[in-house]
Chain A
Amino acid sequence: EAGVTQSPTHLIKTRGQQATLRCSPISGHTSVYWYQQALGLGLQFLLWYDEGEERNRGNFPPRFSGRQFPNYSSELNVNALELEDSALYLCASSLGGPPMAQHFGDGTRLSIL
Chain B
Amino acid sequence: DQQVKQNSPSLSVQEGRISILNCDYTNSMFDYFLWYKKYPAEGPTFLISISSIKDKNEDGRFTVFLNKSAKHLSLHIVPSQPGDSAVYFCAAYSGAGSYQLTFGKGTKLSVIP
Contacts and interface: CB of A to CB of B under 8 A. Distances in A.
A4 B44 CA distance: 12
Given A42-B4, A98-B32, A99-B93, A106 B101 contact: no
A40 B87 CA distance: 12
Nearest to A107: B43
Q: How many residues of B sit at the interface, in one of the four size bands?
A: 20 to 34
Given A100-B49, A106-B42, A40 B105 contact: yes
A42 B103 contact: yes
Contacts of B42: 106
A42 B93 CA distance: 15
B24 to A, nearest CB: 13
A99 B99 contact: yes
Given A42-B4, A43-B101, A56-B98, A99 B34 contact: yes
A40 B106 CA distance: 9
B98 A55 contact: yes
Contact of A92 (B43, B49, B104, B105): B43
Interface in A66-97: 90, 92, 97
15 contacts: A40-B105, A41-B105, A42-B89, A42-B105, A43-B44, A43-B89, A43-B91, A45-B101, A48-B99, A48-B100, A99-B34, A99-B93, A100-B34, A101-B46, A104-B44
Given A42-B4, A48-B99, A90-B44, 20 more contacts: A4-B43, A33-B101, A42-B6, A42-B89, A42-B103, A42-B105, A43-B91, A43-B101, A56-B98, A58-B100, A92-B43, A97-B99, A98-B32, A98-B95, A99-B32, A99-B91, A99-B99, A100-B32, A102-B101, A104-B43
Interface of A: 4, 33, 35, 40-45, 48, 55-56, 58, 90, 92, 97-107
Interface of B: 4, 6, 32, 34, 41-46, 49, 89, 91, 93, 95, 98-106
Q: Lowest 7 CB-CB distances: which A-B pairs, in order?
A: A104-B43, A42-B103, A43-B103, A42-B105, A56-B98, A99-B101, A100-B49
